[in-house]
Amino acid sequence: MATLGDIGLSAAINILSAIAFLLIFAILRLQPINDRVYFPKWYLRGLRSIPTHSGVMQKFVNLDYRSYIRFLGWMPDALRMPEPELVEHAGLDSAVYLRIYLIGLKIFVPITFFAFAILVPVNWTNGTLENSKIVFSSIDKLSISNIPHGSHRFWAHLVMAYAFTFWTCYVLLKEYEKVASMRLHFLASDGRRPDQFTVLVRNVPPDPDESISELVEHFFLVNHPDHYLTHQVVCNANKLAKLVEKRKQMKNWLDYNQLKYERNPSKRPTRKTGFLGLWGKKVDSIEYYTSEIERLSMEEVAERERIRKSTKYIMPAAFVSFKTRWGAAVCAQTQQTRNPTLWLTEWAPEPRDVYWQNLAIPFVFLTIRRLIIAVAFFFLTFFFMIPIAFVQSLANIEGIEKALPFLRPIIELIYSARFHQTIGVSCAGPLPVDRSQLTIGQSIPMKATFFITYIMVDGWAGVAGEILRLKPLIIYHLKNVFLVKTEKDREEAMDPGSIGFNTSEPQIQLYFLLGLVYAVVTPFLLPFILVFFGLAYVVYRHQNIDNR
């Protein structure tokens, strides 16, 4: 049973760990070599450049002592940015995500105050645990376990449970209204984007008398005469995209070899023309990549002309733009013809969200692929039951004895002990049910020490350690050593990351659950919840401003 001293020792260890993580981060972020790791968003937005320092050492280590004086300045900087500016800088999703931590503070600060002002004295001033045979600690005297069965003091817990519930619902209602208002304001103030006026049309039926472009224009002029504006047919430009990507790679290698030659003008870089430069004729690298870029550029021009002139590259799909958002919304959400498999419309995604290689796949092939994946998933799930059934067969005593005969005497010894326990429980069966219920009711609140320890490890030290971005830091420097050849490679080595909503949101829900469940049962847990929400708000606000 954890005592107050044990909790204090665990708190001290986790507080020191959190402080150590924050101090290490505050020092690492000041080093020029880590600048792209801790400020990737500013680099991507073009608002930050590589720090310029004279001397080789200062390119890696910050030797300016004045910058270390305010090495903790990132905390007030993270809190100083107003919410409208945060929405503009990091997006509405990030701002709403951060408000979840504010909701936690708004809910649990008043709950903690009233729980310690009312419930803790009510629990502490009773002596039920001292007169019982249950092993307890001083922390358990602050819980509802210290209230005797049938005591009038339970009215305080009942009233506070209703009060905490109403307060939580009120805060959630107000926050939902605030978030809805933020969303409407964001949509109203957002600049016009092409995807807001555009729909993607797929499975356009062929017509022997008209081209795909003429057919799309004629169809929408007839069916949406008041809203149709223009269209752009989809072309299969996958080969052209590969040529463009290959030319970019060659240009990057050319830049690398030119930099290499500038550092050592006495020796021109060379390479072999074979696979991966491992064998073949040795040639001048700069001349080789220059000729390759020229060749690929000519192939790009030729491929682009073929796409423009040949109809075989045109796919039965098009992006159709409308004069108003209303026209686009009506078209995207309605069936266009009697045949539900033709003229399929949906909202056009942003250009950054389009996987252009798959856009050239015909609709029939996409349907076949979905069917194949569904069948494969079914058989994977079905045949996965075979090893599960084998393992479950070992759960049977006879199955284990057949598979592992040497375990037979041990199993018999264990089950003989279980038999005596069963006899004892059967004899104790006539005991009053109220006695077992009372024991459970006293014991469950006393398990709060486990969750307190969990909150300190995961919610204090874990959140503080997250700000280090240890994984992106290591990966960036490994790429910088083994893969980076040019500044373009260094830019691509940056990893802004993401909020990780799929993992962090369940964590937040767990802390909300623990706080609301134990608010009345064991109020001593609430301050640890508050520290988590406060620390997480500061850390993730900084992460959303500088990193994600």
Max mean pLDDT among 16-20, 168-172, 499-503 falls in 168-172
CA gyration radius, the chain: 33
Output phi, psi for 160, to 5 deg.
-70, -30
- Tell me 126's DSSP state: -
Max mean pLDDT among 56-65, 344-353, 436-445, 495-504 falls in 344-353
pLDDT at 395 over 60: no
pLDDT at 311: 85
Task: Choose between 307 and 352: higher pLDDT.
Answer: 307
pLDDT at 383 over 90: no
pLDDT at 194 over 80: yes
pLDDT at 429: 46
Q: Is 280 helix (H, G, I), strand (E, B) or coil?
A: coil
pLDDT at 343 over 80: yes
**pLDDT tens digits, 416-475:** 555 444 444 444 444 444 444 555 555 556 577 888 889 999 999 999 988 888 888 898
Lowest model confidence (mean pLDDT) among 125-139, 302-316, 441-455: 125-139
Task: Choose between 530 and 409: higher pLDDT.
Answer: 530
Model confidence, pTM: 0.75
pLDDT at 399: 60
Taking residues 205-228, report their average pLDDT.
91
Task: Choose between 6 and 29: higher pLDDT.
Answer: 29
Task: Choose between 430 and 302: higher pLDDT.
Answer: 302
Please enumerate, as own/partner, the contacts of 115-121 that have beta carbons within 8 Å and a separation of 24 or more: 115/160, 115/519, 115/520, 115/523, 115/526, 116/523, 116/526, 118/156, 118/160, 119/156, 119/157, 119/160, 119/520, 119/523, 120/523, 120/524
- Longest CA–CA span in the chain (Å) reads 98
**pLDDT tens digits, 38-59:** 888 888 777 777 766 656 666 7
pLDDT at 236 over 50: yes
pLDDT at 426: 40
pLDDT at 151 over 60: yes
pLDDT at 354: 84
pLDDT at 415 over 70: no
pLDDT at 201 over 50: yes
pLDDT at 433: 45
Task: Tell me the pLDDT of the chain averaged across its residues.
Answer: 83
**pLDDT tens digits, 72-95:** 788 888 888 899 998 888 889 999
124's enclosing H/E stretch is helix 120-124
pLDDT at 301 over 90: yes
Dihedral (CA of 295, 296, 301, 303) sign: positive
Percent of the chain with pLDDT over 90: 35
Q: How is the chain split into domains, by residue range? A: 4-185+499-547, 194-349, 369-426
